[in-house]
Structure 1
Amino acid sequence: MSNITVFTTVFGNTDPLHEPASAGGARFVCFTDQQIRSSKWEIVQMPPQAAPTRAARMMKTLSHKTVDTEWSLWIDANFTLMVEPEKLLKYGEFVNFIHRDRTRISDEAREIIRLRKAMPDATMRQLAAYQADGFDTKASPQRALSCNGVILRHHTPQVVALNELWAAEIDKHTLRDQMSLDYCAWKLGFEISRWPGLHDRNPYFQHKHYRRPTNDY
């Protein structure tokens, strides 16, 4: 039996589920409140979510609680896995993409506000709190921003601590997980590893963009 679970969520009117091109021996689990059929994903039916984005974020961040295997691979439903998951374990204990367009959460905050993905006042409060703590300041700017569509995690104590702090920051501030992850890693002195390439140009995952509904912030 494989020691990795690939998991995703489909809550509310959001991305359709994609079948992986190669499953290997891993378990593939989709948590959903929709009526979905799949030949490769195990569908775990959930009750309708009053706040689907928040529910998905908590399951995503707290991977060590969502699945019971040593490793997990979170994959947004708009990605297709093209290789056996076991081939990815060599990349590190916590692996995601570097952001294609931005390097700083200060720039991310402005984009979140422009796209109306979170309330402006909450977004700016979050940014101000992180900068007051010394993260992404004018004197010491952030040099790489995470892109969290696909995350590999080895559930070591250090990764569990990062997961827990990340979930707490999302609960405290906005639901935009790219605003909080790099701050949490910096706070804990944890170095995130990166996938080769970018989220839309890489050897392991295919990405398809969909127009998503407004978030429940």
Structure 2
Amino acid sequence: MTVHCGFVRGKKPGQGTGFDIKDDDLLEMEQCRELVVASAIFGYYDMIQHPRNISEFSKANACFYMFVDEETEAYVKNSSSMYNDNKVGLWRLVVVRNLPYEDPRRTGKIPKLLLHRLFPNVRFSVWIDAKLQLVADPYLLLERFLWRKNTTFAISRHYRRFDVFEEAEANKAAGKYDNASIDYQIEFYRNEGLTHYSPAKLPITSDVPEGCVIIREHIPITNLFTCLWFNEVDRFTPRDQISFSTVRDKIRAKVGWMPEMFLDCERRNFVVQAYHRELLEQMIASGRRAPSATDQPSRKLRPGSRKAPPAKKPAVKRKKEKKSSPRRRLPKPGAMAMGVM
């Protein structure tokens, strides 16, 4: 069986495929053999987030690649003092030309879901959306989410939604994509057997991922999963949360494999979310400071709630006064004798 997996117009990924990469970059990418940490910025949509708490072992053995278009590269060159020989901090920048899609979000799904095509010799990968800052060592992520659970693919659940139909409505309400395209995709999946999520689907814990982080081993079954997932993104909308469960369920029905879905609160332990570039620039222009991950939210009263009680004044210690209460007197011996008689 032949499964198309992106880059179908060229000889190999990055050459004449509509996602073109220089030969020097392709050659260096082929030298990456153990672990790759990857991200992408297209359309100058995000600011580069620099990983923190990375061990010397990871710096020596893992590859850190950031895929960018020419617009983003030009901005980084002019604005970053850390730019040096196509590197910004730990990130090695790979400039992609001849982009296959006008929508930067859809273009970003190519490195996100097809890393095994771009890095043919890599064993493991960690994908991080560009809006996130990695704050934990990538080998710790492999140990925590793959090796400890004896699984090959890990992704976090959505923090709020479990049902694809609810996710589609939320995407429409937020204007993530045009409503007609989302409705068409959902109706297509419904006709293929998609149902609402319920406890009857256990051990499946959710139908909706928070797809900003993917941790996986590059083996045939995970490669097949992301190939088929990318084909859905290419065919329908780029909202990969909508197509995730359909691809997962079809593979699970055939071979019994499915990805591990961990809690979103666990994801927040190793990545910090930043703001998209436009929103961040608006906040800076208005004089507002972007809250950091360590900021604590202020406690405000909700509308209609009671007013908070005033702060208590410190108690003033006073000298203890001697009470003038009468002491109990014992009766005289004679009186006691008279009472007994």
TM-score between both structures, scaled by the size of structure 1: 0.88
- The reply on whether 1:111 has 2:170 as its aligned counterpart is yes
In structure 2, C-alpha distance between the alignment counterparts of 1:62 and 1:46, rounded to whole Å:
15
The 1:185–1:110 alpha-carbon spacing in structure 2 relative to 1, beyond 3 Å, is same
Count of aligned positions: 212
1:197, distance to aligned residue in structure 2 (A): 4.0
Equivalent residue for 2:268, pick from 202, 207, 215:
202
**Counterparts of 1:212 and 1:64, CA distance in 2:** 32
Deviates most, 48-57 or 88-97: 48-57
**Conserved 8 A contact 1:53-1:175:** yes
CA distance in 2, matches of 1:89, 1:194: 14
1:131 to 1:138, Cα distance in 2 relative to 1, 3 A: farther
CA distance in 2, matches of 1:165, 1:186: 12
Partner of 1:44: helix, strand, or coil?
strand
Q: Give the superposed CA RMSD.
A: 2.3
Question: 1:162: how far off?
Answer: 0.3
Q: What is the identity percentage for the equivalent residue pairs of Structure 1 and Structure 2?
A: 24
Unaligned runs of 5+ in 1: none
Pair 1:177–1:131, CA change in 2 (3 A): same
Matched with 2:67 is: 31
1:174 matched residue in structure 2 = 237
Distance 2:278 2:213 in 1: 18
Name the structure with the higher strand share. Answer: 1
Q: Helix, strand or coil for the counterpart of 1:198? A: helix
Q: Which has the higher contact order (CA 8 A, sep 6+)?
A: 1
**Residue in 2 that maps onto 1:192:** 259
- The answer to whether the Cα contact below 8 Å between 1:98 and 1:198 also exists between their aligned partners in 2 is no
Query: Residues 125 and 212 of structure 1: is their aligned pair in 2 closer, same or farther, counting only changes over 3 Å?
Result: farther
How do 1:41-56 and structure 2 match up within 5 A?
Answer: 41-47=91-97, 49=99, 50-56=102-108
Q: Which runs of 5+ in 2 are unaligned?
A: 1-31, 77-82, 147-151, 280-341
**Quick one: which amino acid aligns to residue 38 of structure 2?**
F
Taking the aligned partners of 2:259 and 2:176, their CA distance within structure 1 comes to: 25
CA drift of 1:87 comes to 1.4
Q: 1:168 to 1:4 in 2, by over 3 A?
A: same
Which of the pair is proportionally richer in helix?
2
